Amino acid sequence: MSYEKLQLQPLFDTIDELKPKFIERLQKAIAIPSVSGDETLRPKVVEMAHFLVKELTTLGFADIELRELGIQPPPVTDPKLELPPIVLGRFGKDPKKKTVLVYGHYDVQPALKEDGWSTEPFTMFHDEVKDILYGRGSTDDKGPVLGWLNVIEAHNKLGWELPVNLVVCFEGMEESGSLGLDELVAQESKKYFKEVDQVTISDNYWLGTTKPVLTYGLRGCNYYQIIVEGPGADLHSGIFGGIIAEPMTDLIKVMSTLVDSIGKILIPGVSDMVAPLTDKEDALYDAIDFSVEELNAASGSKTSLHDNKKDILKHRWRYPSLSLHGIEGAFSGSGAKTVIPAKVIGKFSIRTVPNIVSKTLDELVFKYVNDEFKKLGSLNKLKIELIHDGAYWVSDPFNESFTAASRATQDVWNVVPDFTREGGSIPITLTFERELGVDVLLLPMGRGDDGAHSINEKLDVSNYINGCKTLGGYLHYYGKA
């Protein structure tokens, strides 16, 4: 811990003092069922936006705006359904200070008691023995969103100046594809977000349950489909079996050549594009708190392809993977239907990492699939296409904002955080980086077992309160850097 410690104890003490109030604030937020995926609950999502506006106003934010995003595009039941607004606000506008934009979302995943919750999902339950707060949105993402407001409240109470200018951007459609957000960020990059130096997102989780992490990378995803067709209609195998070329047979053959059973991608050239592992990066994996047993517990099996922590994490975070997802048009029910499907569409995707070039990857995939199909000499037709791609993201875990967040974490938790990446994607990360041209930091509050999209979602009180201290401390270290 060789860094000059800032005198943040008064801030931390004030956050402790305000704990009952912060828990009450979260309770009020959880009580609003702002489920963006349920059209009938749209008024509640809007109510949650107004709740935030009220809180921001009380805390002394300026330029508070509810940005309307217009009508939600189909598929929708109500063709006039309005998207929930994006909440913008600003605290401080001192040109001598750096400006940090914090992003979070105020919508939540659906939740019903009948799904298996032990308590009502939209009534916060404080288990005082374990000191855990249960409720939909507690960790994803209402706890972290309110965390930023709590930091301001603690500063106000102390009479401390905030060390940076803060801009908040809270959206209400994150759980439903972030509709309208990319356009807003692009539009405001030179306006509302003009002075922004750094973007911090608190919307992911620790890897495990005991050690705080800072996240510096996400994999991307290129999703493909292979269409094989031949006969003019689905046929009966009793009549046509053995005398026509069957699309499904060709598709299975081709799909089986993409990846082997130990996870190796068989398409030539893909692994050549992967960035070499440096000693510095390799060393980051040593300290990480993770085990094969944790993977087994998460997968509910003993099917790990790797027998040690470092290989598992590297293959989850910094190497590509290819997964076969399904076949559209194939018979998939129970029973013994003797159909020969006329047209089948195989779906697979590749999780991408630095320095894979998306376009080059597409070319390699297309050529390989077409070549493999040609080898079959089939009379059917094959077409391969990309149906979706999202780029990977990786930041420098040694830059100013990560260093500041690491110091704040050490002050609060007395431990150097693990520097982690994630195997999945958070598309908004890239949008901010690209549109604003600034660094993005992922600074999670909750634990790996919080059950973000699951039943009994929770946030430990220690994560909530220490999380507030970490967010606040981070602003101080970053402001001084």
Q: How far apart are CA 24 and CA 22, in angstroms?
A: 5
Q: Which range touches Zn ion (CB under 5 A), out of 128-136, 195-203, 400-408, 453-461? A: 195-203
SS3 276: coil
Q: In whole angstroms, how close is the CB of 396 to Zn ion at the nearest point? A: 24
Contact 294, 302 (CB under 8 A): no
Q: Is 107 a catalytic residue?
A: yes
Of the residues 55, 141, 171, 174, only one is catalytic, namely 174
Nearer residue to Zn ion within complex by CB, 173 or 340: 173
Q: In whole angstroms, how close is the CB of 464 to Zn ion at the nearest point? A: 15
Q: Which range touches Zn ion (CB under 5 A), out of 121-129, 135-143, 209-217, 468-476? A: 135-143
SS3 42: helix
Q: In whole angstroms, how close is the CB of 31 to Zn ion at the nearest point? A: 19
Q: At what angle do helices 400-413 and 461-480 cross, to 10 degrees?
A: 140
Two tokens at 425? 């994607």
Q: Which range touches Zn ion (CB under 5 A), out of 137-145, 306-314, 403-411, 425-433? A: 137-145
Strand-pairing partners, residue 166, are 91, 100
Nearer residue to Zn ion within complex by CB, 22 or 170: 170
Nearer residue to Zn ion within complex by CB, 140 or 435: 140
Count the residues of the shown chain that bind Zn ion, applying the rule CB under 5 A: 3
Q: What are the distances in angstroms from CA 89 to CA 61, 166, 276?
A: 6, 8, 42
Q: Is residue 140 within the footprint of Zn ion (CB under 5 A)?
A: yes
Q: Is 17 a catalytic residue?
A: no
Secondary structure element (H or E) that encloses residue 470, with its range:
helix 461-480
Nearer residue to Zn ion within complex by CB, 124 or 259: 124
Nearer residue to Zn ion within complex by CB, 140 or 372: 140
Nearer residue to Zn ion within complex by CB, 140 or 153: 140
Going by C-alpha positions, the residue among 168, 164, 162, 149 that lies closest to residue 197 is: 164
* CB-side neighbour CA atoms (13 Å) of 286: 6
Q: At what angle do helices 181-188 and 427-436 cross, to 10 degrees?
A: 20
Q: How far apart are CA 224 and CA 322, in angstroms?
A: 11
Q: Is residue 450 within the footprint of Zn ion (CB under 5 A)?
A: no
Q: Which range touches Zn ion (CB under 5 A), out of 54-62, 71-79, 81-89, 198-206? A: 198-206
Of the residues 107, 229, 411, 450, only one is catalytic, namely 107
Q: In whole angstroms, how close is the CB of 431 to Zn ion at the nearest point? A: 15
Q: Is residue 107 within the footprint of Zn ion (CB under 5 A)?
A: no
| Residues in 405-434 that interact with Zn ion by CB under 5 A | none
Among positions 55, 171, 188, 203, the unique one binding Zn ion when judged by CB under 5 A: 203
Two tokens at 171? 């959206």
| Residues in 147-176 that interact with Zn ion by CB under 5 A | none
Q: In whole angstroms, how close is the CB of 454 to Zn ion at the nearest point? A: 13
Two tokens at 145? 């969103």
Strands in 202-305 per DSSP E: 213-218, 220-229, 235-236
Among positions 18, 53, 135, 141, the unique one binding Zn ion when judged by CB under 5 A: 141
Q: How far apart are CA 20 and CA 286, in angstroms?
A: 38
Catalytic residues: 107, 174
- The footprint of Zn ion (CB under 5 A) covers 140-141, 203
